[in-house]
Structure 1
Amino acid sequence: MKALGNCVILISCGGLCRLWGRALKVRVVSLDLDGTVVSREYVDYFWLELVPRLYARRHGLNLEEAKRLVYSAYDEVGPGDMRWYQPSYWFKRFGIEEWLGDALREAGRLVRVYEDARRFLESLPGSLIAVLSTSASREFVELVMEREPFLRGVFRRVFSSSSDYSLPGKPPEFFRIILRELGARPEEVVHVGDDPVHDYENPRKAGLRAYLLSRSGGDGIRGLDELLAVLEA
């Protein structure tokens, strides 16, 4: 999805930050979770490997056939539907609900914070506030926090569009909710993530300033180190 779609981190800075050639008083920075702060490996393994494997075990199928049926079910629902984001829905639908906890723990072993994200978060001055927000369900957010405990101390707020607001993906309304919850003006917030629509177009529609993260090349910043340079400018 992008299985889980992504979380937003928010960071405050009282000073003037140089952004796109203009001096701006940035108060909040918003970061996506999967593909931005942590690698997508754990969540892809969960949805694309673990779920089909458990489905095959339950229904006596070979793995190839199980993958075909599971992936077809994913496509049938799609990312515009709230059920897409809910592990509990899929495990109940596939008749494997008793294995959800074990599956999350197994996938959790693959949680990995990107090194540039770790440097960025560990380098934040104490005056900055970090908030995480995502389209991922709370199950995945908690899994990441359990595997990387230092993140709990970094993020003062966590926003999950799917679990907290019943919103699929990260539509503009999600970012407007974040603004209201934080008491921030759109021009005070910078959002960063790896999805061109959910992390760039949609926050901009809500009035936020946005950067697209593209570690593999192409348009956008190559790593969160670049964002730190902007905030410190």
Structure 2
Amino acid sequence: MIISFDLDGTLVDYSYADSVWCEGVPKIYAGEKKIGFDEAKKYVMNEYMKVGERKIEWYNINYWFNYFGLKTDWKFLLKKYENRINVYPEVKNVLLELSKKHRLIISSNAASEFVDVMVKKIGNYFEYTFSSTSDFRLVKKTPEFYLKLLEQLKIGKDEIIHVGDHYEFDYLVPKRIGIKSFYVDRNNTRKGRDVLRDLNGLIDKL
């Protein structure tokens, strides 16, 4: 069995991504344009929103550095904030246990540049990593994403389980097309047999 994991909100919290986009990029913009951080952040955040998360550019850090005319290498920024990658406490033990019996992969909405950095912090548990935005040019994990995943892995719907923290795109969408899925609800807002408070509960479900 292949177990597919979402990344942000499932294996790591959102600190790293938020730090890069909401602190790192504005700081660089402020420094290069010689303006205050608050002014830079307001401008940068407004420009993000003009594009919006339904467009592929939203997820592309190289696009934004070019858009803002920044000379700093964006790879420096991703490395600078590596210490903000917070892996949830139970994750490594659960992955170690699951990897003894199952093949593990990452199926994330984040761009591959972010995925690669975060996966290094988690550890060498994953056979493959897939980014909906970088690998398939899809802004969300739609049915098309999961079908492409099956095609890439050369497996059927009954040979994979997906686990993630977005109720629609990690749970309902794969479930609707026949893929077993579990919803990670760390904020304890939902109940059900497919709802996990954290990943410890996953081992008992398999």
Q: TM-score, normalised by structure 1?
A: 0.81
Measure the CA separation in 2 of the matches of 1:192 and 1:146: 20
- Where in structure 1 are there 5+ consecutive unaligned residues? 1-11, 13-27
Measure the CA separation in 1 of the matches of 2:155 and 2:202: 20
Measure the CA separation in 1 of the matches of 2:3 and 2:38: 43
Matches for 1:43-62 after TM superposition, within 5 Å: 43-62=17-36
Structure 2 match to 1:188:
159
Structure 2 match to 1:160:
131
The SS at the match of 2:30 is helix
What is the Cα deviation at residue 48 of structure 1?
0.8
Is residue 79–residue 169 contact of structure 1 (8 Å, CA) maintained in 2? no
Structure 2 match to 1:85:
59
The SS at the match of 2:119 is helix
The SS at the match of 1:136 is coil
Q: Percent identity?
A: 33
Measure the CA separation in 1 of the matches of 2:200 and 2:77: 33
Matches for 1:55-134 after TM superposition, within 5 Å: 55-134=29-108
Measure the CA separation in 2 of the matches of 1:198 and 1:67: 29
1:161-214 deviation digits (Å, cap 9, x = unpaired):
111111112111111111122222223322111112221222223321222111
RMSD: 1.5
Range moving further from structure 2, 75-84 or 53-62: 53-62
Measure the CA separation in 1 of the matches of 2:175 and 2:66: 37
What is the Cα deviation at residue 97 of structure 1?
4.3
Measure the CA separation in 2 of the matches of 1:169 and 1:66: 28
Query: How many correspondences in the alignment?
Result: 202
The SS at the match of 1:98 is coil
Give the letter for the 2:181 counterpart: A
Give the letter for the 2:201 counterpart: E
